[in-house]
Structure 1
């Protein structure tokens, strides 16, 4: 909730006649919540039905729009964004991530520890959430990983990783050009204002 103030323009020698002078008003930001899971894995060819979202302005349900599509026949990572706008024009949104994964990729568990081969030589601990979906606690290979460096990613085809844009404690992270040699190493370039764009390689310990 935010309080906004509208002040009258004061002109020398003139009286204030603007009825909105020094008037304050309260706006309630829209809150958008997902129906179902935020991270979903589909096998290639499996039907996808978008469970949608719910949007409220205070206790009042409001409409929302959806951007993005999912092609369940093409391996990859898809992002659906649900956005609602309140009566004062303020918006809120939330994202759903859908990985369309090949059976061959889903059969490979990438879990384990990987050490970056440059920079701080940080260790990334990769955990399997479900077949095809993983989490690392150290997207950039920093010396001291933690919640602020933890992201999720998909192994959607053998050798191919997808790290979609995601909010991590108020900072957005993603990675591009992400590849993996199962059991050996993975490489990606981090997209975040605090990180350089050079590829980062992590070798399995």
Structure 2
């Protein structure tokens, strides 16, 4: 009995090592550390050109652990004869099959919008009456530091948007580093007589409702 007991003891003791070796063989050659693609984007992520201008895509490169990897470009083809906002997506995949992507935005701006300047402070006419500081940063290209008119704006509520033609505004889907935002149904109303300029849009973000938000220039 003692001899058999000892035999079973050694068998039970050895089983974990047998299974451990089997698992090691099954995972042999599989990377346990993956380096995700890192992008380098020459130029600006948000760009604009006037109608009839020239756009040359500076392109995007990607590396994995310091080594270059291929980048695939999809999305819009920029037509500089047609006002609008064009979005291009650049995607790279590492050796373990993990993909990452980045985007470039190009606004083609009509002459009337190119000549306009919407800069200024705009107060939301509802809620906490937060103030949005709108700044022109390019031809028909702007930023706001308070997309939803919250009490205090800042980097977490900042986006880029375009005025491509007439009184139409476009805020394409974008990641500002703290969340993904876009605006829809966006229009601008210039000042008329004693009525100040204003703009209205709906913010697309999980933290905001679906109601339009109007901002009046101060």
TM-score, structure 1 normalization: 0.88
Mapped to 1, the partners of 2:32 and 2:96 lie a distance apart of 10
Cα 1:24/1:95, change in 2 over 3 Å:
closer
Question: Could you list the per-position Cα deviations for residues 32-56 of structure 1 after superposition, in whole angstroms to 9, with x for gaps in the alignment?
Answer: 1212221111111223221111110
Structure richer in strand, relative to its length: 1
**Greater Rg by CA:** 2
TM-score, scaled relative to structure 2: 0.83
Map of 1:1-80 to 2, 5 A cutoff?
Answer: 15-16=18-19, 17-18=22-23, 19-20=25-26, 25-69=32-76, 70-80=78-88
RMSD between aligned residues? 1.8
Aligned residue for 1:148, secondary structure, equals helix
1:5 matched residue in structure 2:
none
Unaligned runs of 5+ in 2: 1-14, 192-196
Partner of 2:33, secondary structure, is: strand
Q: How many residues align?
A: 193
Aligned counterpart in structure 2 of residue 115 of structure 1, from 120, 123, 135: 123
Extract structure 1 runs of 4+ deviating beyond 6 A. none
What SS is found at the alignment partner of 1:25? coil
Counterpart position of 1:136: 144
Q: Deviations over 1:85-106 (max 9, x none)?
A: 0010111211111000011101
Distance 2:113 2:214 in 1: 20
Q: 1:21 to 1:89 in 2, by over 3 A?
A: closer
**Secondary structure of 2:113 counterpart:** helix
Asked if 1:193 corresponds to 2:206, the answer is: yes
Q: How does 1:77-96 map to 2 (within 5 A)?
A: 77-96=85-104
Q: State the partner residue of 1:4.
A: none
More helix, by proportion: 2
Task: Indicate how the Cα distance of structure 1 residues 106 and 90 shifts in structure 2: closer, same or farther if over 3 A, else same.
Answer: same
Paired residues for 1:165-184 under 5 Å: 165-183=173-191, 184=197
Which blocks of at least 5 consecutive residues in structure 1 are unaligned?
1-12
The answer for the alignment partner of 2:167 in structure 1 is 159
